[in-house]
Structure 1
Amino acid sequence: MVMGKHSDKKIATEEEFFKLEQVLNKTADDTYNCLKLLKKELSDYDSRNGNHSSNTAARFMRTDMRNAKDTAMDLKHVAHDINKNQK
């Protein structure tokens, strides 16, 4: 019966890591979509207010948005690695 308990515990652990991977992926996707919407809203704001070239809200936030997108993609990779490496 000890083997059964070990097997059940391993299955439960795998399920938890799978759930963790799903949550991390959803968080990364939500972050990416939010940043995409933010970029659009900033561009719309700039258009409405006559901001052009280098003096725009979108340009001001560009580096930070890229960093946030990169971090979201890193989160997806970590989620995959966590789930893969625990097996």
Structure 2
Amino acid sequence: MATETTEQTVARLYARMTPGQIAAHEDWVRRFNASDAGKAAAAAREADRVRQAAAAAIRVLSDQEVLAEAVAIVQRGDGLDAALDYLIGAGFQRGD
């Protein structure tokens, strides 16, 4: 089943609204996006997009390339926790 796009969702919702309801909703959206909560939500969406892009980039690397990057993370001073987070993000896990 295809995922509905944002434009399709908006069109579907707006189809059931009066012009006054649409204007009120669009005003609320403008005010929300200008608020601190709206800015925080936008920042969270951007951070999620960056994490997803990084995860996709990691998935195309070989295990050796992933390990080399984890070593580089430690060598540049980001610490073991950052390297472990990178390895976990790449799908590495400890065996039981």
Normalising by the residue count of structure 1, what TM-score does the alignment of the two structures yield? 0.39
- More helix, by proportion: 1
Normalising by the residue count of structure 2, what TM-score does the alignment of the two structures yield? 0.36
